[in-house]
């Protein structure tokens, strides 16, 4: 039963193995080895038996083959309505076949399944709303990814991503020391302009514990500074944990449920340890999905809720604007055409559509806010969700996928796209690079700091009147 050195059924649990896979640039050897990787049929059968229960079985079985889900999928639309992109077809011809053959499938077939699962579905869950039987292909593709991961058929970057979570409890190699240092550094950097600003680490019983995306710690530390400034401006009693700060889950994209559990456990442990009143997560869609929506189930909490209320950044922003703790300078309200990206992960999947629009009402002059069409729960994926953005092998397909969002944005006439989601932000940046439509894109934090009225007592000494 040959398994490769890099591509195999073993998860990445050590730094050494992680380094080996990482140094295989672009996954060349990895994908080569994948061609030889045997299918462990017994294991696949055992997984099916243990996890394919009535919901999924009924979905596969009862699908009326009516094709109503076709138009719901942006990938079907941007790929010239290719029938092979019909959600029902995509899942029936992959997971459906695996189930029909009770796991007796070939290496070639599983590689095909991998291509479909990671390049023809972003798990945006939109199709589920258009299916009369309520069949959610996004959920089923998530399940299929789990099966494929356990067989070793997973894109190189995502094998690494879930390995990062296993080894570092973060999607990137950021250690506890790196993280604490970054906080101290950002606090120092900001102090001059914001006297009294701190980034309090491991404070017990704070009102808010803040969690974020390891990318911020690694590549965009200014995002952490911005979060600190806004907490400072609003007088929040907040803290970050030294461990359990990483909120994302590339393992969720990879279908590595064990790593998902490990990762979110560190966050929940921090909550139990520091006992904050509630947790606020950064402007990230999938991180919210992983730690506030799916996480409780991974760790086995029967009420499906995190240990403390866990809110998305947009919920916190709406609250401080509503209560007047953060005041926007009316002169600085945005007076250029603006649109808003609804992230599937917390809008379609957590009902936050009104909240983000409430924020818009405070920061954009009403006549300048233009909705995309469709929007809210029915918005299309940015084009890069579910890990699509990060997989080099599927870059061409991802670039085609961006067309939908490009056209949606163009139709609004917006110059600025507000995208309170890391993945969406990336996708919109990439679509500007790819198609040069002349738009800007932004998270909320920098915009809010730009527009906020700073109370005198928070200004540096020489500025205060």
Residues found near other proteins in the complex (CB under 8 A): 51, 53-55, 57-59, 61-68, 70-72, 76, 81, 83-84, 86, 88-89, 92, 128-136, 293-294, 297-298, 300, 302-305, 348-355, 376-378
| 123 vs 353 by CB, closer to ligand SF4 | 123
Least distance (Å) between residue 414 CB and other proteins: 23
Tokens 């990336």, residue?
426
Cis peptide before 374 (omega within 30 of 0): yes
| 123 vs 197 by CB, closer to ligand SF4 | 123
For the record, the structure tokens of 56 come out as 């999924």
Least distance (Å) between residue 331 CB and ligand SF4: 32
User: What residue 92 binds from ligand SF4, other proteins, none (CB within 5 to 8 A, per partner kind)?
Assistant: other proteins
User: H-helix or E-strand containing 404?
Assistant: helix 395-412
Binding positions for ligand SF4, rule: CB under 6 A: 63-69, 72-73, 75, 87-88, 90, 121-127, 131, 133, 135, 137-138, 141, 285-286, 343-345, 381-382, 384-386, 421, 423-424, 427
Least distance (Å) between residue 237 CB and other proteins: 24
Rounded to whole angstroms, the Cα distance separating 249 from 345 reads 13
- Give strand ranges (E) for 68-215: 208-211
User: What residue 58 binds from other proteins, ligand SF4, none (CB within 5 to 8 A, per partner kind)?
Assistant: other proteins
| 374 vs 446 by CB, closer to other proteins | 374
| 26 vs 304 by CB, closer to other proteins | 304
User: What residue 303 binds from other proteins, ligand SF4, none (CB within 5 to 8 A, per partner kind)?
Assistant: other proteins
Q: Helix, strand or coil for residue 440? A: strand
Least distance (Å) between residue 88 CB and ligand SF4: 4
Least distance (Å) between residue 264 CB and ligand SF4: 18
Least distance (Å) between residue 61 CB and ligand SF4: 11
| 72 vs 209 by CB, closer to ligand SF4 | 72
| 77 vs 243 by CB, closer to other proteins | 77
Residue 359 main-chain phi, psi, to 5 deg? -60, -45
Return the C-alpha torsion angle 371, 373, 375, 381, nearest 10. Answer: -120
| 378 vs 429 by CB, closer to other proteins | 378
Rounded to whole angstroms, the Cα distance separating 32 from 14 reads 22
Least distance (Å) between residue 23 CB and ligand SF4: 28
List, in order, residues 6 or more apart from 407 with CB less than 8 Å away.
none
- Note whether 259 and 289 are within 8 A (CB): no
Rounded to whole angstroms, the Cα distance separating 161 from 123 reads 18
User: What residue 394 binds from ligand SF4, other proteins, none (CB within 5 to 8 A, per partner kind)?
Assistant: none
Distance linking the first and last C-alpha atoms of the chain: 76
User: What residue 84 binds from other proteins, ligand SF4, none (CB within 5 to 8 A, per partner kind)?
Assistant: other proteins
| 146 vs 390 by CB, closer to other proteins | 146
Structure letter (DSSP) for residue 85? G
Least distance (Å) between residue 283 CB and ligand SF4: 11
| 236 vs 430 by CB, closer to ligand SF4 | 430
How many of the other CB atoms lie within 10 Å of CB of 408?
Answer: 23
User: What residue 382 binds from other proteins, ligand SF4, none (CB within 5 to 8 A, per partner kind)?
Assistant: ligand SF4
Helix and strand element counts for the chain (H, E): 22, 7
User: What residue 385 binds from ligand SF4, other proteins, none (CB within 5 to 8 A, per partner kind)?
Assistant: ligand SF4
User: What residue 323 binds from other proteins, ligand SF4, none (CB within 5 to 8 A, per partner kind)?
Assistant: none
Residue nearest to ligand SF4 (CB): 385
Residue 209 main-chain phi, psi, to 5 deg? -105, 130
Rounded to whole angstroms, the Cα distance separating 453 from 448 reads 10
- Note whether 326 and 289 are within 8 A (CB): no
User: What residue 274 binds from ligand SF4, other proteins, none (CB within 5 to 8 A, per partner kind)?
Assistant: none
Q: Helix, strand or coil for residue 318? A: helix
| 105 vs 421 by CB, closer to ligand SF4 | 421
- Give strand ranges (E) for 137-252: 208-211, 238-239
Rounded to whole angstroms, the Cα distance separating 190 from 216 reads 16
User: What residue 302 binds from ligand SF4, other proteins, none (CB within 5 to 8 A, per partner kind)?
Assistant: other proteins
- Note whether 264 and 290 are within 8 A (CB): yes
């Amino acid at each position: 039963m040959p398994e490769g050195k890099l591509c195999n059924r073993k998860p990445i649990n050590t730094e050494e193995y992680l380094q080996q896979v990482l140094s295989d640039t672009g996954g060349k050897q990895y994908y080569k080895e994948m061609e030889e990787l045997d299918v462990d049929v017994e294991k696949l059968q055992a997984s099916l038996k243990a996890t394919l229960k009535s919901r999924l079985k009924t979905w596969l079985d009862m699908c009326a083959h009516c094709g109503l889900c076709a138009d719901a999928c942006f990938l079907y639309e941007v790929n010239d309505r290719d029938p092979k992109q019909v959600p029902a077809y995509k899942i029936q011809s992959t997971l459906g076949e695996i189930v029909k053959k009770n796991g007796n499938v070939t290496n070639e077939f599983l590689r095909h399944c991998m291509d479909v699962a990671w390049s023809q579905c972003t798990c945006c869950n939109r199709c589920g709303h258009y299916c009369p039987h309520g069949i959610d292909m996004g959920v089923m593709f998530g399940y299929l990814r789990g099966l494929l991961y356990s067989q070793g058929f997973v894109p190189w970057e995502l094998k690494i991503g879930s390995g990062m979570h296993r080894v570092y409890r973060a999607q990137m190699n950021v250690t506890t020391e790196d993280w604490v240092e970054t906080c101290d550094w950002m606090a120092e950097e900001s102090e001059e302009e914001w006297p009294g600003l701190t980034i309090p680490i491991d404070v017990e019983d704070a009102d808010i514990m803040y969690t974020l995306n390891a990318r911020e710690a690694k590549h965009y530390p200014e995002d952490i500074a911005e979060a600190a400034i806004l907490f400072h401006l609003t007088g929040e009693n907040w803290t970050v944990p030294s461990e359990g700060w990483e909120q994302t889950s590339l393992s969720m994209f990879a279908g590595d449920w064990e790593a998902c559990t490990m990762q979110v456990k560190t966050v929940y442990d921090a909550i139990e340890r520091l006992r904050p009143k509630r947790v606020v997560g950064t402007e990230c869609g999938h991180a919210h999905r992983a730690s506030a929506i799916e996480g409780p189930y991974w760790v086995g909490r029967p009420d499906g809720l995190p240990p403390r209320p866990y809110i998305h950044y947009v919920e916190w922003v709406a609250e401080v604007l509503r209560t007047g703790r953060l005041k926007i300078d009316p002169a600085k309200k945005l007076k250029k055409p603006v649109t808003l990206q609804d992230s599937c992960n917390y809008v379609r999947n957590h009902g936050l559509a009104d909240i983000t629009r409430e924020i818009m009402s405070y920061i954009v002059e009403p006549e300048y806010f233009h909705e995309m069409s469709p929007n809210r729960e029915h918005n299309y994926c940015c084009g890069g969700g579910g890990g699509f953005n990060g997989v080099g092998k599927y870059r061409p397909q991802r670039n085609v996928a961006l067309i939908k969002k490009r056209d949606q944005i163009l139709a609004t006439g917006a110059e600025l796209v507000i995208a309170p989601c890391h993945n969406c932000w990336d996708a919109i940046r990439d679509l500007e690079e790819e198609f040069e439509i002349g738009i800007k894109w932004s998270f909320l934090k920098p915009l809010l700091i730009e527009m906020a009225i700073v109370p005198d007592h928070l200004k540096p000494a020489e500025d205060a009147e």
